[in-house]
């Protein structure tokens, strides 16, 4: 370390940077962690992403619950007091912020937390606040930024993205138009509708949640429509006439105009590259992404990316996964390759859409034989009691020549699906037989009993074949004469 100021420099203190620097600090390395402002510590997830969106959904769920209770005589009316909703969100953020502040990180992990805009100035060199830092390895955890619409008239309109939505929006929109059909668009559509806004979603694709199975997305879409969200697929904004009127096109054909009070864009993310001095460090980009290999290395072998900067799965737990791999690679001569075999993601709408393990696309690409099981919640006692019979569980099971099937992946749509898939994900990750669930005794009527239903059905089918039935009858009569 003689010639370097630090063992490791990490730029960006979001989910990616906190994990990368935190582990280095925990094992006693001299790590510099840099972010632009004190408030930026915690990154997108804390400030404008996961945390505020989940707090918003939590409040919105209470409104939905109260409205549903009108069926049983409770009278409710009115819209949300938006400033109080925002206050709640900001309070929640402040609780988490305490453990992600520069002071806390410095004290707990011994990190050298620096507040300032960093720039690469050499292959092992970073400049921040006029100072030069050096390290044998540098991690770029600089995240991504929201995409905006660039159609004619775009400059006439305030495009609320997730950053401005959670920092500038100060009133409940009368009519919120949301452009996009991914997890971000679905979550905010349901939240604002439940708080009392009219909501229209405009989606370029032919369905919501492209990364989840169509059958799962259809369940969510039906719920959103039932709650009053207008959803238009194959639809884009062609131009804005003024700050509140958009001209639409559906598959290239003019579709009239749409008037809105507020416009939100949830059309994906772009990796941040501007102002980082990448070229000075030999880090190259292609089509706006930082070029990286399967080991998180950039075109400079001593500079790595994690989190959204890696340009693939853009989730907080994606960053967590990247850091686990990266640290394995930084500490051992055997490199761990990026793969998504055991990954999962959840859209936190009501019902939640939770996907885990391998997708049909990945299975087909790998040439893996599998069968698909679709289990409805229609006759699940908990779903009947708590009124979510429209939920589904989709499972991809292996087709072994001998022995029991393995859980390869799947998707669940249900309230709390993100929690309920966890045992399935564990079976998959540990490569355990699906049949292991057959004799598990679940407390009645926990929702996750649904995970067992197909396993029991399969076991019962085997047990109740003509010959096994005869054998069992014989065994019974022999024992009970």
Ligand X SMILES: NC(=O)c1ccc[n+]([C@@H]2O[C@H](COP(=O)([O-])OP(=O)(O)OC[C@H]3O[C@@H](n4cnc5c(N)ncnc54)[C@H](O)[C@@H]3O)[C@@H](O)[C@H]2O)c1
Binding residues for FAD: 54, 142-144, 308, 314-317
By CB under 6 A, tell whether 315 contacts ligand FAD: yes
How far is the CA of 52 from the CAs of 49, 56, 58, 198, 414, in angstroms? 6, 6, 10, 21, 22
Count of positions on this chain that bind ligand X (CB under 6 A):
24
Tell me which of ligand FAD, ligand X, none is bound by residue 351, counting a contact when its beta carbon lies within the kind-specific cut-off of 5 to 8 angstroms. none
By CB under 6 A, tell whether 314 contacts ligand X: yes
Instruction: Tell me how far apart the alpha carbons of residues 365 and 203 are, in angstroms, rounded to a whole number.
Output: 28
- For ligand X, the closer CB: 162 or 375: 162
Tell me which of ligand FAD, ligand X, none is bound by residue 272, counting a contact when its beta carbon lies within the kind-specific cut-off of 5 to 8 angstroms. ligand FAD
Tell me which of ligand X, ligand FAD, none is bound by residue 276, counting a contact when its beta carbon lies within the kind-specific cut-off of 5 to 8 angstroms. ligand FAD
Tell me which of ligand X, ligand FAD, none is bound by residue 34, counting a contact when its beta carbon lies within the kind-specific cut-off of 5 to 8 angstroms. ligand FAD
b/e 425-458 (16+ beta carbons within 10 angstroms → b): bebbeeeebbbebeeeeeeeeebbbbbbbbbbeb
The candidate with the shortest Cα–Cα distance to 89, out of 60, 63, 53, is: 53
- For ligand X, the closer CB: 204 or 338: 204
Instruction: Tell me how far apart the alpha carbons of residues 305 and 296 are, in angstroms, rounded to a whole number.
Output: 6
By CB under 6 A, tell whether 352 contacts ligand FAD: no
The single residue among 10, 319, 383, 397 that binds ligand FAD, judged by CB under 6 A, is 319
Close Cβ partners of 281 (under 8 Å, ≥ 6 residues apart): 120, 121, 122, 123, 125, 138, 300, 303
By CB under 6 A, tell whether 187 contacts ligand X: yes
**Would you say 308 and 44 are in contact if contact means Cβ atoms under 8 Å apart?**
yes
Instruction: Tell me how far apart the alpha carbons of residues 140 and 305 are, in angstroms, rounded to a whole number.
Output: 5
Binding residues for NAD(+): 180-187, 268
- For ligand X, the closer CB: 312 or 453: 312
b/e 73-102 (16+ beta carbons within 10 angstroms → b): eeeeeeebebeebbeebeebbeeebeebbb
Shortest distance (Å) from residue 254 CB to ligand FAD: 31
Measured from each CB, the residue nearest to ligand X is 182
The single residue among 8, 9, 10, 14 that binds ligand FAD, judged by CB under 6 A, is 14
- Within residues 66-125, the interface with ligand X by CB under 6 A covers none
**Would you say 452 and 458 are in contact if contact means Cβ atoms under 8 Å apart?**
no
H runs (alpha helix) in 119-212 = 162-167, 183-195
By CB under 6 A, tell whether 453 contacts ligand FAD: no
- For ligand X, the closer CB: 192 or 315: 315
Instruction: Tell me how far apart the alpha carbons of residues 373 and 458 are, in angstroms, rounded to a whole number.
Output: 11
- What residue ranges bind ligand X (CB under 6 A)? 179-185, 187, 202-205, 210, 236, 266-269, 314-315, 345-348
- What residue ranges bind ligand FAD (CB under 6 A)? 11-17, 34-36, 40, 43-45, 49-50, 53-54, 117-118, 141-143, 162, 184, 272, 275-276, 307-309, 314-319, 348
């Amino acid at each position: 370390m003689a010639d370097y100021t630090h063992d490791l420099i990490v730029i960006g203190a979001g989910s990616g940077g906190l994990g990368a620097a935190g582990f280095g600090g925990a094992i006693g390395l001299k790590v510099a962690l840099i972010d632009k402002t004190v408030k930026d510590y915690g990154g997108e997830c804390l400030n404008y992403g996961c945390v505020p969106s989940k707090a918003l959904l939590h409040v919105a769920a209470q409104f939905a619950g109260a409205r549903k209770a009108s069926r049983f005589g409770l009278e409710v009316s009115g819209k949300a007091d938006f400033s109080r909703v925002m206050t709640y969100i900001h309070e929640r953020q402040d609780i988490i912020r305490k453990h992600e502040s520069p002071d806390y990180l410095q004290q707990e992990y011994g990190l050298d937390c620096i507040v300032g805009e960093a720039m690469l100035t050499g292959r092992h060199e970073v400049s921040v606040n006029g100072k030069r830092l050096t390290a044998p390895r540098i991690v770029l955890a600089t995240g991504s930024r929201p995409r905006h619409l660039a159609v004619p008239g775009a400059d006439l309109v305030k495009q609320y993205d997730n950053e401005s939505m959670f920092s500038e929006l100060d009133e409940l929109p009368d009519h919120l138009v949301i452009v996009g059909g991914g997890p971000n668009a679905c979550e905010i559509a349901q939240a604002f509708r439940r708080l009392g806004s009219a909501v229209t979603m405009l989606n370029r694709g032919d369905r919501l949640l492209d990364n989840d199975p169509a059958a799962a997305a259809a369940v969510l879409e039906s719920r959103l429509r039932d709650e009053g969200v207008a959803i238009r697929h194959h639809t884009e904004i062609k131009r804005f006439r003024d700050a509140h009127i958009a001209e639409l096109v559906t598959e290239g054909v003019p579709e009239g105009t749409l008037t809105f009070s507020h416009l939100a864009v949830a059309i994906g993310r772009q990796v941040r590259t501007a102002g980082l001095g990448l070229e000075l460090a030999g880090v190259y980009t292609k089509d706006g992404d930082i070029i990286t290999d399967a080991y998180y290395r950039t075109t400079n072998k001593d500079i790595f990316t994690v989190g959204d900067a890696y340009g693939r799965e853009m989730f907080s737990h994606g960053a967590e996964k990247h850091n686990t791999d990266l640290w394995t690679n930084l500490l051992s001569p055997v490199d761990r390759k990026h793969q998504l075999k055991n990954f999962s993601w959840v859209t936190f709408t009501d019902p939640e859409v939770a996907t885990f393990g391998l997708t049909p696309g990945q299975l087909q690409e790998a040439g893996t034989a599998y069968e698909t099981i679709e289990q409805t919640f229609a006759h699940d006692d908990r779903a009947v009691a708590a009124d979510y019979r429209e939920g589904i569980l989709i499972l991809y099971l292996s087709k072994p020549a001998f022995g029991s099937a393995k859980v390869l992946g799947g998707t669940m749509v249900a309230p709390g699906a993100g929690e309920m898939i966890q045992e399935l994900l564990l079976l998959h990750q540990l490569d355990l037989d699906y049949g292991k669930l057959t004799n598990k005794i679940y407390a009645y009527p926990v929702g996750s009993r649904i995970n067992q239903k197909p396993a029991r059905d399969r076991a019962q089918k085997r047990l109740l074949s003509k010959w096994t039935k005869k054998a069992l009858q014989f065994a019974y009569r022999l024992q009970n004469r």
